[in-house]
Structure 1
Amino acid sequence: MSFNNDTIVALATASGAGAVAIIRLSGEEAITIANAHFKSVKNNKSLLKQKTHTIHLGHVVDGERVIDEVLVSIFKNPNSYTGENVVEISCHGSVYIQQEIIQLFLRNGCRMADAGEFTLRAFLNGKLDLSQAEAVADLIASDNEASHQIAMQQMRGGFSSEIAKLREELLNFASLLELELDFAEEDVEFADRTQFKELINRITFVLKRLIDSFAVGNVIKNGIPVAIVGEPNVGKSTLLNALLNEERAIVSDIAGTTRDTIEDELVIDGIGFRFIDTAGIRETKDVVESIGIKKTFEKMEQAQVVILLFSAGEFQTESQRLIVEIEKIKNRFPLKPLIIIANKIDILNTSEIESLKSKIDNIHLLSAKSGIGVEELKQKLISFVNTGALRNNETIITNTRHYDSLLKAFEEINKVKEGLEFGLSGDLMAIDVRQALYHFGEITGAITNDDLLGNIFANFCIGK
């Protein structure tokens, strides 16, 4: 990705009509270009003479033609998001007005911004490091409290500062190891091996904690897929509707009504759960329904949690067959959390409920139709997520690129640790230390290349 020091323009708000839209310019000539097409309501003020972080009422004009009445915000370098001169124009949200203003600036010295180019410039100008820049995209994409909290922490530099501190300490020891190479004939050690070992142990501990946090971070960022499975007409769609508190799935007394998978998301205590209501599992000659049943097993394979639903009444007459079905699911997916639910318990009396509990261990009793047991099920689902790190405001990794670099750094640090234990010479350990430093630098952007930046910022929206 090449970087041009020209002035860029883009719509910073969502595309389409709205009450207000914001058009952003960034670059050395941003204020000059905006000023040439701005006419203040009073005093004929020049934007060039105004202080940074000020807002001005006026009109965007194309010669004598008034395009719109606007508010213009000025941010002068280096005190702006990108570190350059930035102008933000708040105009009315008509798509026509948006395009007229953007086209005006494109004809008069601006270039259309590439995806993520404003944030790229912020990174290149030292306003953000690379992990903070990536957190901007995560913040925009956050759709629940937990993912928002993690993105905010990363954007404020929590993760970056932790990595930067470790890298700085390791770099100091690396310098001492390199210095030893210059005095190899004297056989001296400038890097205290005891202190070095303590540092390596501390880095190992931090890296392991960060790597382990990715399991939770990935869940928080992408949500937990939960497959709701069972035989036809046991209330899978009714349960989905009860969880979502809306009529999302078609419900009828006809077995096989759900012939495809239905997905929707619910946020429980800040964690997103993607519920999948699947076709009922049974022997069938219906071609369409059989395709749905095949998809059910595919969705169970993809899900992290499986809810196996039975009708409570069936346990009265077919308990042995149902127990066999439960064991089949457990054997097919031995590592997946399985919640076994007896639905429609409102039709049972107290003794029948007790009999049901005695036949199946840890069975969850529920009536999707009346709502009995639905809240308890939600709490059961949240128990599968380790939210302790989130509550304690610990650093949590959600980015696959960071995870990959941490794994590589961890591997190199382990080599250094082994080298210390076996008394390897400083020149050999220095090679592994350099590699670890390289992978640390990849995370924060201390080490980058055009391909890496291109891949990261291409996923941003235009205007950010």
Structure 2
Amino acid sequence: MKMNDTIVALATPSGAGAIAIIRVSGPEAMEIVAPIFKAKSKKPLEKQPTHTLHLGNLVDGERTLDEVLVSVFRGSKSYTGEETLEISCHGSPYIQQEIIQLLIRKGCRSAEAGEFTMRAFLNGKMDLSQAEAVADLISSENQASHQMAMQQMRGGFSSEIHRLRQELLDFASLIELELDFSEEDVEFANREQFKDLIAKIQQVLKRLIDSFATGNVLKNGIPVAIVGEPNVGKSTLLNALLNEERAIVSEIAGTTRDSIEDEMSIGGVGFRFIDTAGIRETQDVVESIGIRRTFDKISQAQVVVFLLDSEKFKVQSSTPSSPPEKGEFTELLREIEKIKNKFPQKPLVIIANKIDQLSGEERKKLSETLNRIEGSSLQLLSAKTGEGVEELKMKLLEFVNTGALRNNNTIVTNSRHYNALLKALEEINKVEDGLNNNLSGDLLAIDIREALHYFGEITGEVTNDELLGNIFSNFCIGK
């Protein structure tokens, strides 16, 4: 991207709306916009101070395109760090394109994806991790992802990295200084203090690396697989959770042949629910494929919700000679154990559905039976009437570690940052080994430089065109 020209783009979503904002930024922004703007106040636009609004008409020769508001942001006080003007016009797609084409004819270039934010980074308005947080903020769909993006955009993450990098750089400078006086055999960097610093850096890096597991699921939504035998109410439960008719519901067993996914926010945290094909022995080729996919979805899920039909318990509880441990109900318990054995590390919520068909005594017996299954969380629920659905939502929230979020701790959500942190920790561990083995300063300096390199990759102190291209190509045009 060229950074010495003037760019233009629509900053609001394309299509018709009440208003649209067209952003112009670059060294000739004022020279291009001022001649085609006729202010109601008759004051020249180029003489107006920063952060001011001006009402007037935008004209193309003798033709008036629209009555607009122009916002003026001068030089270093703008978002991009260069002369920026924003034109607020009426939201007609025709008007938007007429204005943009006029600005291009007058000397602007259409902005590339993320080019305004890239200019902000290159002009020192924000570091690279803060710039990436802008894209996360735009794409945030729930309170948790919004809060993490805001925390990073305010510099919480980058300030920690800056601080660690500066402390490491100070010691690196002393060790480099020792190399200049190698013949005198002097030691400027106190090795014991350096060991303490390395231990501190290791602790912080490990905490940030561990936070990625939480940050990644909070950012992308926690996947929850809804599984069980055919016709136990999985699709009905999905519809009840989403409060809409998302999945087809039928009395015919095996209606769901493939997984259906949808998202919702619970307590500010995003959840991605996956309604799967019923698990059973079948000769149907299509249904068999769906069942195989069910187990694939379970392996991808963060939490597994296993539904069973409580009506089966009702039938057996009415027969004194047939306790709940026998018959079809035993098969359901075996299926639960199969799921637990196949995925022992996954949180499992057992749902006894269709409890609207049970009496109070039958519900009590069902609870007593299911409570004997260790390592599982039991919920009685009626997806049809909605009884117990809110309790299930609260139960799902218990599986999410939101403590760091509530305490406003730094949470890593970006895989690029995560990989750089891993590599930085690897180099810091090498420095620790070198200190313990009394390596010479020149050998220590090599590993320290590598660690500093990976710290700098996160904040943008170390960049290349390919890295910046990959990052900003994921932005929307106009930001």
TM (normalized to structure 1)?
0.97
Question: CA–CA distance in 2 between the matches of 1:283 and 1:324?
Answer: 14
Alignment correspondent of 1:221? 219
1:404 paired to 2:419: yes
Question: CA–CA distance in 1 between the matches of 2:358 and 2:13?
Answer: 53
Query: What is the Cα deviation at residue 428 of structure 1?
Result: 1.2
1:282-320 Cα deviation digits (max 9, x unpaired): 233334333332322222222221111001122335221
Query: What is the Cα deviation at residue 242 of structure 1?
Result: 1.4
1:147-199 Cα deviation digits (max 9, x unpaired): 10110111111111110011001000000001111111222110011211111
Runs of at least 5 residues in structure 2 that lack an aligned partner in the other structure: 317-326
Letter in 2 for 1:265: E
SS in 1 for 2:65: strand
1:343-392 Cα deviation digits (max 9, x unpaired): 11222223322322233224221111222221221122111111000000
1:65-144 equivalences in 2 (<5 Å): 65-144=63-142
SS in 2 for 1:446: coil
Counterpart among 446, 452, 460 of residue 475 in structure 2: 460
1:383 paired to 2:398: yes
Letter in 2 for 1:371: G
Question: CA–CA distance in 1 between the matches of 2:103 and 2:378?
Answer: 65
Query: What is the Cα deviation at residue 415 of structure 1?
Result: 1.0
Question: CA–CA distance in 1 between the matches of 2:283 and 2:89?
Answer: 60
Alignment correspondent of 1:319? 329
Question: CA–CA distance in 1 between the matches of 2:60 and 2:21?
Answer: 18
User: Which of structure 1's runs of 4+ aligned residues deviate more than 6 A?
Assistant: none
The RMSD of aligned alpha carbons is: 1.3
1:113-172 Cα deviation digits (max 9, x unpaired): 010000000000000100000000000000000110110111111111110011001000
Alignment correspondent of 1:286? 284
Letter in 2 for 1:419: G
SS in 2 for 1:258: coil
Counterpart among 268, 276, 283 of residue 266 in structure 2: 268
1:421 paired to 2:436: yes
1:207-266 Cα deviation digits (max 9, x unpaired): 111000000100111001111111111111111111112222222222222222211111
Alignment correspondent of 1:336? 346
Structure 1 stretch displaced more, 164-173 or 346-355: 346-355
SS in 1 for 2:251: coil
SS in 2 for 1:313: helix
Alignment correspondent of 2:2? 3
Counterpart among 236, 253, 256 of residue 238 in structure 1: 236
Question: CA–CA distance in 2 between the matches of 1:41 and 1:171?
Answer: 56
SS in 1 for 2:159: helix
Question: CA–CA distance in 2 between the matches of 1:206 and 1:187?
Answer: 33
1:358 paired to 2:368: yes
Alignment correspondent of 2:358? 348
TM (normalized to structure 2)?
0.94
Question: CA–CA distance in 2 between the matches of 1:363 and 1:21?
Answer: 51
1:360-375 equivalences in 2 (<5 Å): 360=370, 361=373, 362-375=377-390
Alignment correspondent of 1:36? 35
Question: CA–CA distance in 1 between the matches of 2:283 and 2:455?
Answer: 58
Question: CA–CA distance in 1 between the matches of 2:2 and 2:125?
Answer: 16
Structure 1 stretch displaced more, 212-221 or 229-238: 229-238
Question: CA–CA distance in 2 between the matches of 1:199 and 1:439?
Answer: 17
Alignment correspondent of 2:255? 257
Question: CA–CA distance in 2 between the matches of 1:6 and 1:347?
Answer: 71
1:48-98 Cα deviation digits (max 9, x unpaired): 111111110011110000111100000010100000000000000000000
Letter in 1 for 2:449: R
1:434-462 Cα deviation digits (max 9, x unpaired): 11000000000000000000000000000
Question: CA–CA distance in 2 between the matches of 1:156 and 1:322?
Answer: 51
Structure 1 stretch displaced more, 18-27 or 250-259: 250-259
Letter in 2 for 1:417: E
Question: CA–CA distance in 2 between the matches of 1:319 and 1:277?
Answer: 22
Runs of at least 5 residues in structure 1 that lack an aligned partner in the other structure: none
Question: CA–CA distance in 2 between the matches of 1:31 and 1:97?
Answer: 21
Contact 2:457 2:463 in 1 (8 A): yes
